[in-house]
Structure 1
Amino acid sequence: MYKLPHFTANNQDEILEFMHQNTFVTLIGFDGEYPVATQVPVKTVIDGESIKLIGHVMTKTDHCKAFEQNPNVMAIFTGAHAYISASVYEKPASVSTWNYKTVQAKGIIRLMSPEETYQAIKELTNKYEDPETSPAAFNKMDEDYIQKHLKAITGFEVLVKHIDHVFKMSQNHSAKNQESIVANLEKSDDIFAKEVAKEMNKNL
């Protein structure tokens, strides 16, 4: 990982908040020959001193089989990112760069029982569909329909053992450079560029 002191958070709470806000991760395993990966939503759970990632995958896929063979996995959390042109620097004859935020969480995956998977799906659905008002709420679905689809799904829990992160937002540049970068990003039509500008403004 590209890690420099400039680009690290001051405390773990900032890292955990990023994980809570960026729930669609790339989950990577190893099948003994090649890395395997899948993109899935996860819930970050703080359980005492432990950090756990809860989610689900399709059963009988290459990644699910790899998780069964080798429980060592890594989840990559990715936020907004943008190209940073050196043309706006005080000294523009410089190297341009890319700003981004990312967290890599390494840990041990445990595949859930059908009962645990049921609960994980219920909690995930209830997070995005209001149980009281949404016609797609979990409690509005027919139980036979739920059980039929659960046969194709396996829930998982990752016990996080190590976290790395890079929050690269041009902190190594002068305040004037950072202000120029923000002004340039704010003019962009790219929604990610605008998000990076918001992140950078927090540091100014």
Structure 2
Amino acid sequence: MRFMGEAELVDILRKTSLHFEGNRTDSQTAYDNLPEDYQKELLPAIVAFEVEVEEIDTVFKLSQNRDEESFHNIVGKLEAQGGEAKGVAEEMKKRADALFGCPHKSNS
């Protein structure tokens, strides 16, 4: 872990506030538009740090906690949406057998 200095902290606050304000530099809550005394009061209370990610574990949460009927209804709704949602439905169908001991039933 590496702690960052004030200049890096200010840069992060600038970028983050602009990101969440849709890059609207005229927003009252963009960092550069905050009152200077407000910035000076809060900066000492904020610690910026950087961590190196050494490992990533993935977890699939595709409505496995649902009963079979609800699961298949969700799959059907996702398929109907198309696009990325349809891709999620396809992945869920692959896992249906392991969850319920049967292949996906279409509800359409």
Q: For 2:27, what is the secondary structure of its paired residue? A: coil
> What residue number does 1:32 align with?
none
TM-score w.r.t. length of structure 1: 0.32
Question: For 2:15 and 2:90, how far apart are their aligned partners in 1?
Answer: 32
Residues 133 and 184 of structure 1: CA distance in aligned 2, closer, same or farther (over 3 Å): same
Match of 2:6 in 1: 114
Give, as a single letter, the amino acid of the residue that structure 2 aligns with 1:126: L
Q: Please list the CA deviations of residues 144-200 of structure 1 after superposition, one character each: whole Å capped at 9, or x if unmatched.
A: 3212210111101111111111114378xxxxx5x851416889xxxxxxxxxx584
One-letter code aligned to 1:167: F
Deviation >6 Å, runs of 4+:
none
State the secondary structure of the residue aligned to 2:73.
helix
**How many angstroms apart in 1 are the aligned matches of 2:41 and 2:70?**
55
Q: Is the 8 A contact 1:131 1:138 kept in 2?
A: no
Q: Which residue number in structure 2 is paired with residue 201 of structure 1?
A: 89
| Residue of structure 2 equivalent to 1:49 | none
- Two-structure CA RMSD over aligned residues (Å): 3.2
The verdict on how the C-alpha distance between 1:123 and 1:184 changes in structure 2, with shifts beyond 3 A counting, is: closer
Q: Specify which of 169, 194, 198 is matched with residue 62 of structure 2.
A: 169
Q: Greater helix percent: which structure?
A: 2
Q: Specify whether residues 118 and 200 from structure 1 end up closer, same or farther in structure 2 by C-alpha distance, changes over 3 A only.
A: same
The residue type paired with residue 152 of structure 1 is A
Instruction: Report how many residues are paired.
Output: 80
2:36 is the alignment partner of 1:148: no
1:62-73 aligned within 5 A: none
1:70-91 deviation line (CA, Å, top 9, x unaligned): xxxxxxxxxxxxxxxxxxxxxx
Q: How does 1:1-80 map to 2 (within 5 A)?
A: none
Whole-Å Cα distance in 1 between the matches of residues 43 and 76 of structure 2? 44
Partner of 2:81: none
Q: Which has the higher contact order (CA 8 A, sep 6+)?
A: 1
Unaligned runs of 5+ in 1: 1-108, 172-176, 188-197
Tell me whether 1:181 sits opposite 2:74 in the alignment. no
Structure 2 equivalent of residue 101 of structure 1? none
Q: Is the 8 A contact 1:117 1:154 kept in 2?
A: yes
Identity percentage over the alignment? 32
- Distance in 2 separating the partners of 1:201 and 1:159: 34
Larger radius of gyration: 2
> Any stretches of 5+ residues in structure 2 without a counterpart?
78-84, 94-108
